[in-house]
Structure 1
Amino acid sequence: MSSASPAVSIGIDFGTSNTVIALAADDRRVEAIRFDHGGQRHSVYVSALCFWEDRPGAGAQAEGGPWAIEQFLEGRHVYRFLQSFKTFAASSSFNTTQVFRQRYKFEDILAAFLRTLARHGGDRFGFETSTITVGRPVRFAGGNPDEALAMQRYRAAFERLGAGHARYVYEPVGAAFSFARRLERDATVLVADFGGGTSDFSVMRFSRKGGALRAEPLGHAGIGIAGDTFDYRIVDHVVSPRLGKGSSFRSFDKVLPVPSGHYTNLARWHQLAMMKSNGDLRELRELARSALKPELLEDFITIVDLDLGFSLYRAVSNAKVALSAQDQVDFRFKGGGVDIGSTITRKNFESWIADDIARLGATVDKVLGEARITAREVEKVFLTGGTSFVPAVRKLFADRFGNERLMSGDQFESIAYGLALIGHSPDPHRWTADGGLAPKAGG
């Protein structure tokens, strides 16, 4: 981990769903680190951890990325699986989680994840000797995120890997820096970065003087609506009713609705596994015995019991992606004797996410208001992240700015590229979240 040249700048885009690492040399060449798994090379490292013990009391081992999912799906050991843990970074109510006999703080989880990433990334990592630039959201996920707490946890995790010197840059600023290399003239740019857990927006004024790229920050805003939210809308309307949501059970002489709280566990697939240990699965079994449609709850129980959440959500995500290119898709999930099928139209999907789109639009209006400009004054709009391909999202921006101003980048690598390049910029501190590009009051 210490063999990288001091001339190497590392950009780390740690995302809710995926993480990408980019390396930039001092000649401005930049590339993403590739991970060899399953006979393929991937630039995306799934933001997941799987802990297990080969035998009770032997001590926990950890794997990350696609290896974590592989370990989880093989199910050869008792495991503790963690995904989307970035969503807890700014949560003051999250203190520790139990992993076998050890309590893990957020910084413990992140450090363990980064160690697996560095191990699989090979000898090109040099956390101690390289310039490190880490992306962070404009607004962290959660109802009342504590930004100072999140950054304290980030720094503690990176310090454990010898990267206490790391800089932190807003994720859309990283994307903006990557995009700005394409600009042929000065421009005011809105960057929209759609991740798994949050969507972030930055307005920046780019100019070149003496061959050097300059940027003036005009405004930043973010919201906890992104790709995972859209997945959940499909789950809520297509999957949950098929698993008993909205059905009833008999309690003495009364007929009552099945508690909807059980279906919040379907918000993300890895939460289903937790139902085995928190008492929810036991309660579901009791409800099934008195349910008017017990077969629905029995299918829910099967999905939890057999750890089918990953396969279920993969089917949901595939349907969402297909709806970006098709007017309707045939959703189908089969496993463990459970068979869920439905035709989903784009029109229905867009009605399910309409409120989310409206809130995204309000956040775009907020960042324009903070920048004190109108939509007409934005010359380029750079969209990045997989959710930017959802037609309703694209339409939101086309209606406000016009199709001719919309541009897209690599849905996964743009931010990491920009972060790595910022490390080689003449004055990298200006780009950091606590430097010249910090948000104005209210951002």
Structure 2
Amino acid sequence: MNGEPPAHALGLDFGTTNTVVALGDGAGGSELVEFADGTGAVFRSALCFWEEERAWNGIACEAGPWAIDEYLQSPLDSRFVQSFKTVAASASFERALIFGKPYRFEDFGRLFLQRLVRHAGGALDERPRRVVVGRPVEWAGARPDPELARRRYDLMLGEFGVELHYVYEPLGAAYSYASRLSEPATVLVADFGGGTTDFSVVRVGEPGATRRCEPLASAGVGIAGDRFDRRIVDRLVLPMLGKGGRYRSMGKVLEIPGGWFAEFADWSRLALMRNRRTLDELRRLQRDALDPEPIGRMIALIEHEQGFPLYDAVGRVKRALSAEDRAEFRFEGGGVAIAAEVRREEFEGWIAEDLARIEAALERALAAAAVGPEGIDRVFLTGGTSLVPAVRALFERRFGGERIAAGGELTSIAHGLALIGGEPDPAAWAA
């Protein structure tokens, strides 16, 4: 759509872990939306539901950091939903039951955006004419369906903006980074989110050029920070909860089935295990286990709703290993205490397979752009996982440290999307 850029364009970076919103001023600038109570510009992509007679349909809801507060106040009487972006392209996900009521992906999305607007202190009360929404290059999931994700996003965002444009998330970061450059360059942007890692190669022209940025190619893979967390849980936590242990069954000694530990891939799913049938089965497993103590720890974590603090401890040790060669993993809750030292080289071994797949996606982006490493002038890393030393080392090895830049790890995409919204024709950037 050509014509004059709107005075009010909005950039929406709806992420697996966090969501950030920026408003364009129509004059080549943008400003991040700050949320109430001093929470800043980063809004956690989470929902919490609880039963309340006065609420619509008898179920009340909160989002963002307020969702976490509600859940921690009453974990046994609430239902917590996070990372729901990861099912956007999944045909196997149709709906989730919350207190017996069905919720589709777009229902979660609309509720989330409504609460986000409410907590924006009036900054989002005016419906923007143009909304530029980030999307991953490759959707998360085993067999993602991009067209299904697009339909679900359209339904989720139908009340949010008049004119919708979808742009690859790393292109948003590229546009943001280009605003800092004073000379032409070929730029590789690597965006490390919670659920996906995406790459874009962009040619940046002279300041003041009619079209400052030209996308050359993009590629991605459904691996990012959440997968690294799961590696820590799998290698460090689950062996203390019985994984790899053995039990007696019909006169034989067998290894405890791995299916018991699948729910630990996502801490919020632990709440679903808190039902009589599952707990009764776990107690039978504990009775038959050669070493019953680890299974007892698993039961205690489930009964006392310790998923959130457990994964919070995982996140802390991962961040600590970004700054130190070793860190202490420490968790206490629900009568369970776990402490262990983790060396950075151990962690890097755990994620080596994931790093190889990330590097393969990088190769695909360079090949599609017909640009070798020597043809890249600048590398811009964004997203929280870009701070992991093994991730940065991958790029230093390929491009040299002098070409690498970072900054605005959680906000650069929204900033760039809002700037694209100020272009006369943002459809030129559409995914």
Q: Secondary structure at the match of 1:330?
A: strand
Describe the shift of the 1:282–1:221 C-alpha distance in structure 2 as closer, same or farther (beyond 3 A): farther
| Partner deviation per Cα, 1:232-279 (whole Å, 9 max, x = no partner) | 111111100001100111113111111111212111211111112494
1:7-18 matches, within 5 Å, as: 7-18=7-18
Match of 2:230 among 219, 232, 240: 232
Describe the shift of the 1:294–1:200 C-alpha distance in structure 2 as closer, same or farther (beyond 3 A): same
Match of 1:43 among 27, 41, 44: 41
1:51-90 matches, within 5 Å, as: 51-55=49-53, 59-75=58-74, 78-90=77-89
Q: Secondary structure at the match of 2:302?
A: helix
Q: Does the 8 A contact of 2:75 with 2:305 survive in 1? A: no
Query: In the alignment, does 2:159 pair up with 1:141?
Result: no
Describe the shift of the 1:264–1:409 C-alpha distance in structure 2 as closer, same or farther (beyond 3 A): same
The equivalent of 2:27 in structure 1 is: 27
Distance in 2 (CA, whole Å) between partners of 1:302 and 1:265 is 15
Distance in 1 (CA, whole Å) between partners of 2:220 and 2:272 is 29
Q: Does the 8 A contact of 1:227 with 1:387 survive in 2? A: yes
Q: Does the 8 A contact of 2:131 with 2:162 survive in 1? A: no
> Is 95-104 or 81-90 further displaced after alignment?
95-104
TM-score by structure 2 length?
0.95
| Partner deviation per Cα, 1:127-171 (whole Å, 9 max, x = no partner) | 634321111000110011000000100001111x24252111110
Q: Does the 8 A contact of 2:27 with 2:422 survive in 1? A: no
What amino acid sits opposite 1:254 in the alignment? Answer: K
Describe the shift of the 1:95–1:173 C-alpha distance in structure 2 as closer, same or farther (beyond 3 A): same
> What CA RMSD, in Å, does the superposition of the two structures yield over aligned residues?
1.7
The equivalent of 2:299 in structure 1 is: 301
Q: Does the 8 A contact of 1:11 with 1:133 survive in 2? A: yes
Q: Does the 8 A contact of 2:168 with 2:430 survive in 1? A: yes
The equivalent of 2:338 in structure 1 is: 340
| Partner deviation per Cα, 1:149-199 (whole Å, 9 max, x = no partner) | 00100001111x242521111100000000001111111111000000000
Q: Secondary structure at the match of 1:16?
A: coil
Cα offset, 1:379, TM superposition: 0.6
Query: In the alignment, does 2:363 pair up with 1:365?
Result: yes
Q: Does the 8 A contact of 2:130 with 2:162 survive in 1? A: no
Distance in 2 (CA, whole Å) between partners of 1:318 and 1:93 is 33
Cα offset, 1:221, TM superposition: 0.5
Cα offset, 1:210, TM superposition: 4.7
**Identity percentage over the alignment?**
49
Cα offset, 1:51, TM superposition: 1.1
What amino acid sits opposite 1:244 in the alignment? Answer: G
Distance in 1 (CA, whole Å) between partners of 2:360 and 2:119 is 41
What amino acid sits opposite 2:205 in the alignment? Answer: S
What amino acid sits opposite 1:34 in the alignment? Answer: E
Cα offset, 1:77, TM superposition: 6.9
> Is 137-146 or 273-282 further displaced after alignment?
273-282
Cα offset, 1:104, TM superposition: 1.1
The equivalent of 1:440 in structure 2 is: none
Q: Secondary structure at the match of 1:133?
A: strand
Describe the shift of the 1:248–1:147 C-alpha distance in structure 2 as closer, same or farther (beyond 3 A): same
Cα offset, 1:95, TM superposition: 0.6
> Is 333-342 or 100-109 further displaced after alignment?
100-109
Distance in 2 (CA, whole Å) between partners of 1:278 and 1:213 is 61
The equivalent of 1:441 in structure 2 is: none
Q: Secondary structure at the match of 1:122?
A: coil
TM-score by structure 1 length?
0.92
Q: Does the 8 A contact of 2:76 with 2:305 survive in 1? A: no
Q: Does the 8 A contact of 2:11 with 2:22 survive in 1? A: yes
Describe the shift of the 1:390–1:12 C-alpha distance in structure 2 as closer, same or farther (beyond 3 A): same
| Partner deviation per Cα, 1:274-296 (whole Å, 9 max, x = no partner) | 11249443322221121111111
The equivalent of 1:268 in structure 2 is: 266
Cα offset, 1:316, TM superposition: 0.5
The equivalent of 1:290 in structure 2 is: 288
Cα offset, 1:213, TM superposition: 4.2
Cα offset, 1:9, TM superposition: 1.6
Match of 2:177 among 176, 179, 182: 179
Cα offset, 1:20, TM superposition: 0.6
| Partner deviation per Cα, 1:288-346 (whole Å, 9 max, x = no partner) | 12111111111111111111111011111010011011000011101121010100000
1:218-229 matches, within 5 Å, as: 218-229=216-227
> Is 293-302 or 162-171 further displaced after alignment?
162-171
Distance in 2 (CA, whole Å) between partners of 1:428 and 1:361 is 30
1:28-427 matches, within 5 Å, as: 28-37=28-37, 40-55=38-53, 59-75=58-74, 78-126=77-125, 128-159=127-158, 161-208=159-206, 210-277=208-275, 279-427=277-425
What amino acid sits opposite 1:351 in the alignment? Answer: G
Q: Does the 8 A contact of 2:128 with 2:162 survive in 1? A: no
What amino acid sits opposite 1:48 in the alignment? Answer: A
Distance in 1 (CA, whole Å) between partners of 2:27 and 2:215 is 26
Q: Does the 8 A contact of 2:182 with 2:206 survive in 1? A: no
Distance in 1 (CA, whole Å) between partners of 2:17 and 2:208 is 40
Q: Does the 8 A contact of 1:53 with 1:77 survive in 2? A: no
Distance in 2 (CA, whole Å) between partners of 1:403 and 1:264 is 39
Unaligned stretches of 5+ residues in structure 1: 1-5, 434-443
| Partner deviation per Cα, 1:355-386 (whole Å, 9 max, x = no partner) | 11111111111111111111110111000011
Distance in 2 (CA, whole Å) between partners of 1:319 and 1:207 is 41
Describe the shift of the 1:76–1:355 C-alpha distance in structure 2 as closer, same or farther (beyond 3 A): closer
Q: Secondary structure at the match of 1:35?
A: coil
Describe the shift of the 1:269–1:382 C-alpha distance in structure 2 as closer, same or farther (beyond 3 A): same
Describe the shift of the 1:117–1:278 C-alpha distance in structure 2 as closer, same or farther (beyond 3 A): farther
